[in-house]
Amino acid sequence: MKHIDEYRDAALARSLAQHLAARVSRPWTLMEVCGGQTHAIARFGLDQLLPPGLTLVHGPGCPVCVTPLALIDAAIAIARREDVTLCAYGDMLRVPGTASDLLRERAAGRDVRIVYSPMDALALAEAQPDRRVVHFAVGFETTAPAHAMAAWQARRRGVDNFSLLVAQVLVPPAMAAILDAPDNRVDGFLAAGHVCAITGWGGYRELAARYRVPIVVTGFEPVDILRGIVSCVEQLESGQAQVENAYRRAVREDGQPTARALIETVFEVVPRRWRGMGTLPASGLALREAYAAHDAAKIFGPPAEPPAAAEGDCIAGEVLRGVRTPRDCPAFGRGCTPAHPLGAPMVSGEGACAAYYRYRRTPTTAVTP
């Protein structure tokens, strides 16, 4: 298929791998910060092509996975209200809360609906003005424009029964938190191409300069990812630490100015709690005061923090920080499976545990893209 086949070219992939083998002179650890990249790496066995000493670790690249228990529990509590229709993306329904999940709530008769866009939830609110419709607004910068548009349209059209339970997070502060951690072992990053398609890549310059790490904006196909790795290694081997765009067909330096302007109109930057990482300053988005009438946290009350023990034995937090891999978890593939997940990374289509369960339950070798 045109525009796909050329980025899954096996000969080109092998050539890039050979270049890496010749170039790497010491151990390096790179982190991808995108669940789509994680799944491509596992599916195509790209890490199996890398020379010894060059290690890929998986970062907090799954917005469903980093949504904290408090917000999952808040969504469940809202869904239990008789006058509420709760809308969410499909992945969110099976993410475990403290004692339940949205799928079980729907099975118990709650009005929980899967939507593909917040505009679907807004249309539902307009169609049933006698019910309060709440959309669970989860995502990185990629989904922020759509959520902002839904809130903006709801205010403009006077749809007072529509609100957002906002769980929007921002990627750069999480990258900074990883680099600040005492157990950090990341030498360079593959930045998420879809995030940078919205935000641009200029904002990563300060991060690269402050921590002296290369950051390479990378796509999602095998050749994209290998080219991103090559670019990152070239910088590391030559002592550079710059932001480089290896996904030029989709990403501009300034991103999408119209989308960014809409986000800034509707949202403000706030501290946000991340699963496994705690509360990170300036790492999330919340609705501005002008949109308070559409803020579910203000309508129904802020989420309450669950007991510390509620996380149980799940090591999702360590997986999300790249400190451990899914295979390090004693429950992986046994007590924790996609059918019976203990943590969000086993549920989401972008989760590292789900990727390993699908592609890495047994030892693998690289496959032809």
Would you state the pLDDT for residue 1?
A: 59
**pLDDT band, very low/low/confident/very high, at 312 (cuts 50, 70, 90):** low
- For residue 13, is it within any domain? no
Instruction: Report how far apart the first and last C-alpha atoms of the chain are (Å, whole number).
Output: 13
Give the closest residue to 61 by CA, choosing from 170, 199, 222: 170
A 10 A CB-CB count for 199 gives 25
pLDDT in tens, 204-243: 999 999 999 999 999 999 999 999 999 999 999 999 999 9
**Is 367 a residue whose pLDDT tops 50?**
no
- For residue 343, is it within any domain? no
pLDDT in tens, 13-23: 999 999 999 99
- For residue 121, is it within any domain? yes
- For residue 226, is it within any domain? no
Would you state the pLDDT for residue 365?
A: 46
Strands 215-218 and 267-274, bridge-based pairing: unpaired
CATH number at residue 281: 3.40.50.11740
Would you state the pLDDT for residue 366?
A: 47
A 10 A CB-CB count for 330 gives 11
- Give the count of alpha carbons within 13 A of 155, CB side only: 17
Instruction: For residue 48, give both structure tokens.
Output: 């199996």
- For residue 185, is it within any domain? no
- For residue 249, is it within any domain? no
Average pLDDT of the segment spanning 121-145:
97
Helix axes 222-237, 10-23, angle to 10 degrees: 20
Q: Residue 128: give the domain boundaries.
A: 64-170+255-310
Quote the strand ranges of the chain, DSSP E. Answer: 28-32, 54-58, 84-88, 112-114, 132-139, 162-168, 188-192, 215-218, 243-245, 267-274, 278-287
Q: CA dist 363 to 6, 114, 343, 356, Å?
A: 28, 35, 23, 10
Q: Report helix, strand and coil shares of the chain as percent, to nearest 5.
A: 45, 20, 35
- For residue 49, is it within any domain? no
Average pLDDT of the segment spanning 92-116:
96
A 10 A CB-CB count for 317 gives 20
CA–CA dist 77, 176 (Å, integer): 33
CB-neighbour burial class of residue 216 (10 A; exposed 0-12, middle 13-18, buried 19+) = buried
**Is 86 a residue whose pLDDT tops 70?**
yes
Please state the φ and ψ torsions of residue 54, each to the nearest 5 degrees.
-100, 110
User: Contact, 149 vs 119, CB < 8 A?
Assistant: yes
Strands 215-218 and 243-245, bridge-based pairing: parallel
Q: CA dist 284 to 172, 174, 271, 338, 343, Å?
A: 10, 10, 6, 28, 21
CA–CA dist 135, 120 (Å, integer): 9
**pLDDT band, very low/low/confident/very high, at 314 (cuts 50, 70, 90):** confident
- For residue 55, is it within any domain? no
**Is 363 a residue whose pLDDT tops 80?**
no
- The average confidence (pLDDT) of the chain is 93
Range from 7-11, 24-28, 116-120, 197-201 carrying the lowest mean pLDDT:
7-11
**pLDDT band, very low/low/confident/very high, at 349 (cuts 50, 70, 90):** confident
H-run or E-run covering 292: none
Percent of the chain predicted with pLDDT > 90: 84
CA–CA dist 285, 288 (Å, integer): 9
CA–CA dist 264, 280 (Å, integer): 20
**Is 137 a residue whose pLDDT tops 90?**
yes
Helical ranges in 94-215 per DSSP H: 102-107, 118-127, 144-157, 171-180, 193-199, 205-211
| Buried b / exposed e along 234-259 (16+ C-beta atoms within 10 A) | bbbeeeebebbbbbeeebeeebbeeb
Instruction: For residue 3, give both structure tokens.
Output: 């525009």
pLDDT in tens, 242-254: 999 999 999 999 9
- Give the count of alpha carbons within 13 A of 323, CB side only: 16
Domains in the chain: how many in total? 1
**Is 302 a residue whose pLDDT tops 90?**
no
Would you state the pLDDT for residue 309?
A: 54
Percent of the chain predicted with pLDDT > 70: 95
Would you state the pLDDT for residue 360?
A: 81
Amino acid, res. 238: S
